[in-house]
A and B are shown apart, each in its own frame.
Chain A
Amino acid sequence: MNPPAETSNSIRIQTRELSGQAEVDYISQLERIIRSARLNLHYPASRALRSHIGVLHPKVHRGLYPGVQVNIGSGLPTYREWTRAQTDVQIAQEQLQKLGARSELARQARASDAAIYQKLLTKFDYYCEIAERELAPLGDMTVALRKIDAQTRTAYFHIVLDKLEASGLFVRYCIDLAQTDSAWNRQVVRLDAENAAHTEQLKSLVYKCTALGSESTFIKLAALGGVRVERVVRGSVGPIIWGAADAPEELRPLMQAGGSGAFIAQFGLDMLAADIAEDRQNDPLGARELQADARLSPKVRAALLSTRQKYGVHVFGDRKFVVPRGMTLAMRDFCAARGTQNLIYSI
């Protein structure tokens, strides 16, 4: 990727503006990376993400926008860019109706030197191309009924929450829980015949918890009466490191050795479930042991250990990578040195 065109500091996140060929290369590379990552249903939907990113491509917007703003921390476009694409897709049909027939716009553009007519024609082509495009949800929760056990009056649900976090990463939470029907319990999932819908209480709780991670989500949900949490999985897209200067300390040597085209795309997976045999950490960048996790206070650490024992759950952490072909071996060695075996795809 080319060196940044300019760097700016906002209050919360650091961003970079890319334009011209740098913009083209960035968006194209991002699409390829996400395709190559082989994201399954534990991650945000790959096809929707690629489609959404595609709206940002210069060959799609045809120069209507000056460039793309990148969140340096996540390596993904900023929230502003995601919502810009989302808005444009949502208004595309309406705009096409207002613009009228393409043939008339083309005639006007040919007949006049005024730039406005060419711009209208460009807008028409842009909206045509993006109308009905699939978009990655920036914040969406769905509930599906898995099964009902009439004997125990228990219903089992599968909840999926997709969101663009404040950190700039796209994450998906998959939560399997069971809810027992009881007069004493407040329902977190409404079941109408076999159509499930989450309550507002559950939605706001899940949104709050997921900001803290999968383990905290598990603890908070498990504390609700009448609810048994079977599994919480968090899959994340990003961060993607595009330059050695942006890399965390442990990855900087790798990036420097990778040269000008180096990047490291990361796709993390955190899983907390009763059917995991034992605690296992396969994430070379995650904490090795709960006890050794310096980010946690002793009180929190103890609470987490206690919860795990109480519910008989174990955690599994993993991370897979997409890197340029020339960095594959180095990445593998990095993981091996940290005692992990990770999937590394190269493009």
Chain B
Amino acid sequence: MSENHGLVDNLVTQFASPLDCFRELAQNAMDAGSPVVEVWTEFIPGDDYIGTIALHVDDWGEGMDEQIIDTYLTQLFSSSKEDDLTKIGKFGIGFVSVFALNPRAVLVQTGRGGEYWEVLFHEDRTFNKTRLQMPVEGSQITIFVAGDIQRYAELALGIQERLKFWCAHSETEITFEDRTPISGELLDPLPINEPFGIEGHCVTRVEYQGTEIVCAYQRRPSYGFYNAGLTLAFTRAGEDVLGERAARLQHVGFKIKSRYLEHTLSRDTIMRDENYEKAMRLLEDAVNRNLFGELLAELKALVAQENWGLAEVQNYGDLLRFLAAEPYELLKSVENIPLIRTLGGRALSLAEIYEFWSENGRVLMDAEPGELSGALQNAGTPVVYGVHGAMIRHPIGAVNALLERFVRLRYQDTLGARLKRFTKFLGTSRSTQHFLISPEDVYLPVSLDSQAPADTLALIAEAARILSKVDAGYRRLVSCHIVQDDGDAQLFVVAKKLSSYMARPPARTDSKGRLEAAVNRDHPHFIHLLRIHQTDPKLAAYCLAKSLLLTEDRLLHLDLSMMAAAQA
């Protein structure tokens, strides 16, 4: 090995920390079939303040016989574990990493098949091999480093930290023990292992043969990659380890333990090869099916709950935030499931919201129940539970993001929208922004005339006849008084059914439903038309009918038909 001195130097300095060699030794022990790895340290005082620091790694795996020692242990790059999916060690450089600590000596005692050996590596990396008479179980490695008690304490702490980072999810039990604690207080061996788990929403665990995944929705996701529980990579930098999948997983944290994953030669990241793609496909499946399924299940259960407190509101907002970030294809697949809470405690599906927007050009939303929202819901007009504008950072601000995104993408998905985009001269696409509106911005309290004056009735009846003749889509047209005049006088109000609250007409081009309309008899324009009606009733009726269509910005091409109907 002394001939490869330079090569070894280059190799071992590639590791981020010299103490990462303990990961390598733990890996070797696991591959040897040891169910436990005991890492322990001790300080042996010398004549002056410098003593000997002994760092031990003991396992009771298969051990090594002479042939293995000669072929693999003492030769660089040799590995019997190449391509073996049941072993995690590759490259054969695991053991050589101990030289990163600049040890005075490294002692290996090992036994296999009735042979027991001791190999002592010197500072210059030459070695002596001796047959032992006393049996040895597995392999016991001791690294001897010169240093004082402070250096010892640093190393003991450092080893513990590196083991925690690299081996916390090891399938093999790993313990660490400081047998010469600086405090003088002897403690029990510290378990390094931690449960393979994750924090976040909708925590989901999925197992395949040779692969285990735990994933959750997280605001600041972290990504962990493991093989046999040893850390290959753990980072929040999605681009580094996920590449083109980073965008999809920007709100999903996970840990994946898989036989398909390997680290690069320098151990600083995961190898992106065919096997990596296999592992990532399993991850995608787990995220798109199991994790998404858990999100749906939680949302469904939550919206079905009758009484909500602050915790439920917070949870609802969090879950919708994550739902809003999911791919459109997944949203579309669940569009018929009731997930959106209304103020009345009902749940609507995304498809129903879209349908409502499609018919009305808007969707009502409010943060608190009130008289208006109660009346609307009783009349069959849903009011979504959500917040507007400046309150967008409110826990349920995510409702807006979800609905706006879904409606936009759903609309773009329609044939009509695609055609319009393709043939721009047919007109622009419908706006899918800012359609979530507070009921107060749309609905006005009205007092319907039970008995309007005769001239008003005549004018309105004639206008209604014209609208009916051209099939404009209104079941009724009556007169009313707007109770609450906010200064912006409204000529018409509309609704599915006449009631004490009716809406300002929306600007829409795809009207499907039949509405009922009421004209504000106090509006200056109506009063003016009443005067015209006295001398030219046909003109007045035409103008009133036209005004309604202009207000809703629809069917403007029916002018000639309306004129003919007026003169008939």
On chain B, the residues within 8 Å of A186 by CB distance are none
- CB-based contact B134/A341 at 8 Å: yes
Number of interface residues of A (CB under 8 A): 29
A34-48 contacts to B (CB < 8 Å): 38-42, 45-47
- CB-based contact B85/A318 at 8 Å: no
- CB-based contact B137/A277 at 8 Å: no
On chain A, the residues within 8 Å of B135 by CB distance are 341-343
B306 within 8 A of A: no
Q: By DSSP majority rule, is chain B's interface helix, strand, loop, or mixed? A: loop
On chain B, the residues within 8 Å of A40 by CB distance are 32-35, 60-62, 138
- CB-based contact A38/B137 at 8 Å: yes
On chain B, the residues within 8 Å of A228 by CB distance are none
On chain B, the residues within 8 Å of A156 by CB distance are 84
A129 within 8 A of B: no
Nearest-Cβ distance from residue A134 to partner chain B, whole angstroms: 13
* Closest partner residue, chain B, to A283 (CB atom): B114
B165-195 contacts to A (CB < 8 Å): 173
- CB-based contact A277/B35 at 8 Å: no
**CA A156 to CA B87, docked complex, whole Å:** 13
B137-179 contacts to A (CB < 8 Å): 137-138, 173
A316 within 8 A of B: yes
* Closest partner residue, chain A, to B209 (CB atom): A195
On chain B, the residues within 8 Å of A145 by CB distance are 85-86, 210
| Residue in A39, A144, A282, A320 whose beta carbon sits within 8 Å of that of B210 in the complex | A144
- CB-based contact A316/B114 at 8 Å: yes
Chain A, 142-161, contact with B by CB distance < 8 Å: what is the 0/1 string? Answer: 00111100000000101000
- CB-based contact A196/B209 at 8 Å: yes
Nearest-Cβ distance from residue A165 to partner chain B, whole angstroms: 21
Number of interface residues of B (CB under 8 A): 28
| Residue in B65, B85, B86, B173 whose beta carbon sits within 8 Å of that of A277 in the complex | B65
Most buried by B among A38, A42, A156: A38
Q: Known contacts being A271-B113, A341-B114, is A42 close to B35, with CB within 8 Å?
A: no
- CB-based contact A147/B138 at 8 Å: no
Q: Known contacts being A144-B210, A146-B84, is A47 close to B35, with CB within 8 Å?
A: yes
B184-223 contacts to A (CB < 8 Å): 208-210
Q: Known contacts being A277-B113, A343-B135, A343-B137, is A146 close to B35, with CB within 8 Å?
A: no
Q: Known contacts being A39-B35, A144-B210, is A341 close to B116, with CB within 8 Å?
A: yes
| Residue in B34, B133, B134 whose beta carbon sits within 8 Å of that of A41 in the complex | B34
A276 within 8 A of B: yes
On chain B, the residues within 8 Å of A276 by CB distance are 113
B83 within 8 A of A: yes
- CB-based contact A144/B85 at 8 Å: yes
On chain B, the residues within 8 Å of A38 by CB distance are 36, 60, 137-138
Nearest-Cβ distance from residue A272 to partner chain B, whole angstroms: 12
On chain B, the residues within 8 Å of A47 by CB distance are 35, 173
* Closest partner residue, chain B, to A142 (CB atom): B209
Most buried by A among B84, B86, B116: B86
B67 within 8 A of A: yes
- CB-based contact A147/B133 at 8 Å: no
**CA A146 to CA B32, docked complex, whole Å:** 15
Nearest-Cβ distance from residue A172 to partner chain B, whole angstroms: 11
Most buried by B among A39, A47, A146: A146
Most buried by B among A271, A318, A341: A341
**CA A41 to CA B86, docked complex, whole Å:** 13
A288 within 8 A of B: no
- CB-based contact B35/A144 at 8 Å: no
- CB-based contact B114/A318 at 8 Å: yes
A to B CB contacts below 8 Å, 18 in the list: A38-B138, A39-B35, A39-B60, A40-B34, A40-B61, A40-B138, A41-B33, A41-B34, A144-B210, A147-B85, A194-B210, A271-B113, A276-B113, A280-B113, A316-B113, A318-B113, A318-B114, A341-B134
**CA A45 to CA B172, docked complex, whole Å:** 11
On chain B, the residues within 8 Å of A41 by CB distance are 33-35, 61
**CA A146 to CA B83, docked complex, whole Å:** 8
Nearest-Cβ distance from residue B83 to partner chain A, whole angstroms: 4
Nearest-Cβ distance from residue A222 to partner chain B, whole angstroms: 21
Q: Known contacts being A271-B113, A277-B67, is A45 close to B86, with CB within 8 Å?
A: no
**CA A196 to CA B138, docked complex, whole Å:** 29
- CB-based contact B85/A45 at 8 Å: no
Most buried by A among B66, B85, B137: B85
On chain B, the residues within 8 Å of A275 by CB distance are 67
Nearest-Cβ distance from residue B61 to partner chain A, whole angstroms: 5
Nearest-Cβ distance from residue A305 to partner chain B, whole angstroms: 20
**CA A45 to CA B35, docked complex, whole Å:** 8
**CA A147 to CA B79, docked complex, whole Å:** 15
**CA A40 to CA B34, docked complex, whole Å:** 5
Nearest-Cβ distance from residue B248 to partner chain A, whole angstroms: 23
| Residue in A46, A195, A316 whose beta carbon sits within 8 Å of that of B35 in the complex | A46
Besides the known contacts A40-B62, A147-B85, 19 further A-B residue pairs in the complex with CB atoms under 8 A apart: A38-B60, A38-B137, A41-B61, A45-B35, A46-B35, A47-B35, A146-B84, A194-B210, A194-B278, A195-B208, A195-B210, A196-B209, A275-B67, A277-B65, A280-B113, A282-B114, A341-B134, A341-B135, A343-B137
